[in-house]
Amino acid sequence: MKKNLITNNELPNALNIRIESSAQGDKSGVDLSDEAEMKIIENRDKDTEYFKDLNELIGIIVHKIRNPLAGISAAAEILMTKTEKNEANDKLFMMIFKKIDRLESTAKNLFMTFSKISNMKTIPRFKRDYKKID
């Protein structure tokens, strides 16, 4: 049985190699003793951490926007059932629901802009029929 062992002479060089995988699964070694390569790796890692933190912050902001919108929407729907049905009230409620939908859309677009998630099934959008308010 043949083993791939590192000799004492090869050990310092082997310890300075960082194995990296490409998106296609190819592996390559990066010489960590090379300052230029180290700078590239450090900058890439900083960018990755920055965008990870930015995505988390955007998620928190979107959540903080969407929660009150859900409450406002629910309250408006309850008020709509308890108020007199007339054209003026219908126009006011339609305006409220359109503004809620606009803010909801803005929050969703903000999240999509800064997020790597392409499937937005986890963030449903309010659906309304503006032509008819029952």
pLDDT tens-digit profile of 18-60? 555 555 555 555 555 566 666 666 666 666 777 777 778 888 8
DSSP letters of 38-83? HHHHHHHHHHHHHHHHHHHHHHHHHHHHHHHHHHHHHHHHHHHHHS
pTM of the model: 0.51
Please determine, for residue 92, whether its predicted confidence score (pLDDT) is greater than 70: yes
Q: What is the mean pLDDT of residues 58-67?
A: 88
d(CA 53, CA 76): 35
Of these ranges, 6-15, 65-74, 104-113, the one predicted with the greatest mean pLDDT is: 65-74
Amino acid in position 50? Y
Distance, in Å, from the CA atom of 131 to the CA atom of 134, rounded to the nearest integer, reads 10
pLDDT at 118 over 80: no
